[in-house]
């Protein structure tokens, strides 16, 4: 039985993703992706978890940039496990960059986002969501205001209330 994708995917997008995988597969450096992933995870643990600050968020962004520029070109992909770890590393670098940049943009503390340099919740300036888009190959963060007409409805919020 043949399965079909419910949503069409642009051929050029598929081809560019395949080329990215093949390019990664050809790397023959001296850095194992699984070891680099551990370095990234340690840096994220120290700078991106519960308590954040401008300094810690900038530190993780610097580490991400260093890994991308100095380490990723030297990855060693020898087998399927390395390839999988390399792809995961690439995704973790992107997610880390998004979270750190969004954390820098939100100059308040709210929910699980705690900024030690902005310890208070700031409803007057931050009744908005942060959006992330890729524009011309670059990350762009914007804000989207919460609807002023929206009111807390206990039935709608359920256990969150």
Say how far apart CA 131 and CA 141 lie, in whole Å: 6
Tell me if 5 is assigned to some domain. no
DSSP string, 71-121: IGGGBB--SHHHHHHHHHHHHHHHHHHHHHHHHHH--S-BTTBEETTB-S-
Tell me if 118 is assigned to some domain. yes
Digit-coded pLDDT (tens) for 6-57: 677 788 888 888 898 898 888 889 999 999 999 999 999 999 988 999 999 9
Say how far apart CA 49 and CA 62 lie, in whole Å: 16
DSSP category for residue 66: H
Query: 3-state DSSP call for residue 159?
Result: helix
Tell me if 88 is assigned to some domain. yes
Query: 3-state DSSP call for residue 133?
Result: strand
Please tell me the predicted confidence (pLDDT) of residue 89: 97
Say how far apart CA 39 and CA 32 lie, in whole Å: 11
| Domain of residue 75, residue span | 15-160
At residue 123 the predicted structure's pLDDT band, cuts being 50, 70 and 90, is confident
Tell me if 3 is assigned to some domain. no
At residue 154 the predicted structure's pLDDT band, cuts being 50, 70 and 90, is low
The overall average pLDDT reported for the chain is: 88
CATH of the domain at 40: 1.20.58.100
Tell me if 1 is assigned to some domain. no
Strand partners, 116: none
Which pTM value belongs to this model?
0.82
Say how far apart CA 33 and CA 6 lie, in whole Å: 33
Tell me if 126 is assigned to some domain. yes
Please tell me the predicted confidence (pLDDT) of residue 161: 46
Select the more confidently predicted residue: 69 or 159: 69
Number of domains in the chain: 1
Q: What share of the chain has pLDDT > 70, as a percent? A: 88
């Amino acid at each position: 039985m043949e399965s079909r994708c419910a949503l069409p995917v642009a051929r050029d997008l598929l081809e560019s993703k395949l080329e990215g995988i093949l390019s990664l597969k050809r790397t023959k450096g001296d850095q194992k992706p699984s070891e680099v992933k551990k370095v990234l995870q340690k840096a994220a643990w120290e700078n991106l978890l519960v308590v954040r600050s401008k300094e810690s968020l900038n530190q993780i962004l610097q580490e991400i940039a260093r890994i991308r520029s100095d380490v990723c070109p030297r990855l060693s992909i020898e087998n399927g496990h390395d390839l999988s770890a390399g792809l995961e590393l690439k995704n973790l670098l992107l997610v880390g960059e998004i979270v750190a940049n969004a954390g820098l943009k939100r100059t308040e503390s709210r929910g699980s986002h705690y900024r030690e340099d902005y310890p208070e919740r700031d409803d007057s300036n931050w009744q908005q969501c942060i959006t992330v888009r890729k524009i011309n190959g670059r990350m762009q963060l914007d804000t989207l205001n919460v609807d002023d007409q929206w009111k807390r409805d206990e039935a709608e919020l359920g256990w969150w209330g």
